[in-house]
């Protein structure tokens, strides 16, 4: 890392799982670091745990409109602009990608491409990210799990009675339920109280393992790290050669200015990172920054996701912290399918509103409450295969336009059917299934893929833009494939890997 020509060595744009982790990893490197975040700290307030406020009123969701590029329909995206990014609202699930996810893997509707790095390249950083994010898990339960150099830093969260019984019933049918790795502060003396408002809610106690609590706040304890909140990065400026970023134009409280550093890191999320590069087009980069390959904004993925509410009238679910169990028996080719189908994991316990109301609008509130008391609630996740025509673009008015057509949908519907059959075998009789639409983009990735060839990728294996000497992108934009696992741990692990690379080059 060379000395910065301006006030900072490194400017990081975005404070989520990528940018926040990178700032944390570089905090003691001697580099002068500025972290820019368009939002502010999410307030600790009673509404954090208020279902009507969080879900009904969408209190914390970004108040902006993106557009479906095919239909022109505007939609409100599932993104959150706070210090810590979308990790403030996520369910804190931290699985590693499987070793096979880094290799070319044949699916029914195409091939999931190989990554330019291997699982072994990322493994030590996975271990470090699990420590930073307070991940609780148990190795040895899931036959698909990759090898580990270290045990989980904290023991798995114990199943509450209903989940423990469900796990045993699944094992009796030959399945391999395992403890879903979860990042919460459930250490001795920790903040976590295992409430039901975790998955999809902000934590009023700051007990969730999110990028704000685990990375940004500790990083700010270093005199080398500064945070500029409520600051929107509008565009990146290059020097006369077009080979270096010379500044980032930002807007804060209606005032625009230019900030300068030696290295610039974009970590705005897959859609907004692509948008920032497209909006930074200039004479040297007429199609957008770092876009000589034409790949900026392409290969947008967000997983093919469904909810499945399974009702067993004979058993009442009294668990509070519900999200502790997952099943990967359908994840890889094998006895159940010639092709991969995906991952099944329990969600936070649903209530009478939300998914049940959407799936059974004709039911009374009492009937919906009865279903909620007798249900287990599943998030069903299949790999969304990359397609260059699924992409992020800018409208003539500067609006964000997203084209997304599912690619691997047949396998996903088979996974839903397999999940229903699995649960039917252990007593469930009624199911509500809902396929998540374009608005559900919490696992967005792939718009600035990394690779070994500048002609087909935007970034090199250390996430540096091929076209510029001092621009990096560290968020899920770099994913060449989505796998079928929650992306946060992989984003954080690669951020740690990039930080080691940057610190080693100083």
The CATH number for 189's domain is 3.50.50.60
The torsion angles phi and psi of 85, rounded to 5 degrees, stand at: 60, -145
pLDDT for the residue 505: 65
Indicate whether 448 belongs to any domain.
Answer: yes
Residues linked to residue 274 through DSSP beta bridges, in sequence order = none
Residues 6+ apart with CB under 8 A from 264: 10, 11, 13, 236, 245, 248, 470, 471, 472
Q: How many domains does the chain fold into?
A: 1
* Angstrom distance (rounded) from CA 133 to CA 473: 21
Taking the CB of residue 253, how many other CB atoms lie within 10 A of it? Answer: 6
* Angstrom distance (rounded) from CA 216 to CA 12: 12
Structure tokens at 284: 């040297």
Indicate whether 139 belongs to any domain.
Answer: yes
pLDDT for the residue 335: 80
Indicate whether 383 belongs to any domain.
Answer: yes
Indicate whether 473 belongs to any domain.
Answer: yes
Q: Mean pLDDT, 10 residues at a time, over the chain (506 residues)?
A: 60 98 97 98 96 92 97 97 98 98 97 98 98 98 97 97 98 97 96 94 97 98 97 98 97 96 98 98 97 98 96 94 97 92 94 71 80 92 98 97 96 97 96 94 96 98 98 98 98 98 81
Indicate whether 34 belongs to any domain.
Answer: yes
Q: How far is CA 36 from CA 115, 266, 284, in A?
A: 29, 10, 25
CA dihedral 268, 85, 401, 456 (to 10 degrees): 40
* Angstrom distance (rounded) from CA 45 to CA 359: 31
pLDDT for the residue 352: 67
The torsion angles phi and psi of 349, rounded to 5 degrees, stand at: -60, 125
Q: Which helix (H) or strand (E) holds 489?
A: helix 488-504
Residue among 207, 269, 273, 184 nearest 236 (CA): 273
Indicate whether 149 belongs to any domain.
Answer: yes
Q: Contact at 8 Å (CB) between 415 and 377?
A: no
Indicate whether 3 belongs to any domain.
Answer: no
Indicate whether 2 belongs to any domain.
Answer: no
Its domain, for residue 127, covers 8-504
* Angstrom distance (rounded) from CA 356 to CA 51: 14
């Amino acid at each position: 890392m060379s000395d910065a020509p301006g006030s900072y060595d490194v400017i990081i744009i975005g404070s989520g799982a990528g940018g926040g982790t990178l700032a944390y990893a570089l905090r003691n490197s001697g580099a002068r670091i500025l972290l820019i975040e368009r939002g502010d700290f999410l307030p600790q307030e009673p509404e954090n745990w208020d279902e009507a406020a969080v879900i009904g009123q969408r209190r914390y969701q970004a108040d902006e409109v993106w557009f479906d590029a095919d239909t022109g329909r505007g939609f409100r995206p599932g993104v959150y602009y706070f210090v810590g990014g979308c990790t403030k609202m996520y369910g804190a699930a931290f699985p590693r990608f499987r070793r096979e996810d880094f290799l070319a893997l044949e699916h029914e509707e195409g091939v999931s491409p190989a990554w330019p790095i291997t699982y072994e390249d990322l493994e030590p950083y996975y271990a470090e990210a699990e420590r930073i994010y307070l991940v609780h898990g148990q190795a040895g339960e899931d036959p698909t799990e990759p090898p580990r150099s270290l045990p989980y830093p904290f023991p798995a969260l114990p199943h509450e009675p209903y989940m423990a019984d469900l796990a045993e019933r699944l094992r009796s049918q030959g399945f391999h339920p395992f403890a879903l790795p979860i990042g919460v502060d459930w250490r001795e003396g920790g903040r976590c109280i295992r409430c039901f408002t975790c998955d999809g809610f902000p934590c009023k106690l700051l007990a969730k393992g999110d990028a704000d609590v685990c990375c940004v706040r500790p990083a700010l304890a270093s005199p080398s790290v500064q945070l500029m909140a409520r600051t929107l990065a509008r565009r990146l400026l290059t020097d006369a050669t077009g080979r270096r970023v010379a500044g980032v134009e930002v807007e804060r409280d209606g005032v625009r200015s230019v900030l300068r550093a030696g290295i610039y890191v974009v970590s705005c999320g897959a859609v907004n990172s692509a948008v920032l590069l497209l909006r930074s087009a200039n004479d040297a980069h007429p199609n957008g920054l770092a876009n000589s390959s034409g790949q900026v904004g392409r290969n947008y993925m967000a997983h093919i996701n469904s909810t499945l509410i399974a009702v067993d009238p004979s058993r009442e679910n009294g668990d509070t912290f519900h999200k502790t169990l997952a099943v990967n028996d359908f994840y890889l080719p094998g006895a159940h399918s010639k092709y991969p189908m995906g991952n099944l994991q329990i969600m936070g316990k649903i209530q009478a509103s939300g998914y049940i109301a959407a799936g059974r609008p004709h039911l009374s509130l009492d009937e919906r409450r009865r279903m909620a008391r007798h249900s287990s609630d599943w998030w069903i996740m299949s790999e969304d295969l990359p397609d260059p025509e699924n992409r992020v673009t800018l409208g003539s008015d500067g609006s964000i336009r997203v084209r997304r057509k599912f690619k691997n949908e047949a396998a996903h519907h088979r996974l839903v059917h397999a999940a229903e059959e699995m649960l039917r075998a252990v007593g469930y009789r009624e199911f509500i299934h809902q396929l998540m639409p374009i608005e559900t983009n919490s696992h967005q990735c792939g718009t600035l893929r990394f690779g070994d060839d500048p002609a087909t990728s935007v970034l090199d294996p250390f996430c540096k833009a091929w076209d510029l000497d001092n621009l990096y992108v560290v968020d899920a934009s770099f994913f060449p494939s989505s796998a079928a696992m929650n992306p946060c741990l992989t984003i954080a692990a690669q951020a740690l890997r990039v930080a080691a690379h940057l610190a080693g080059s100083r």
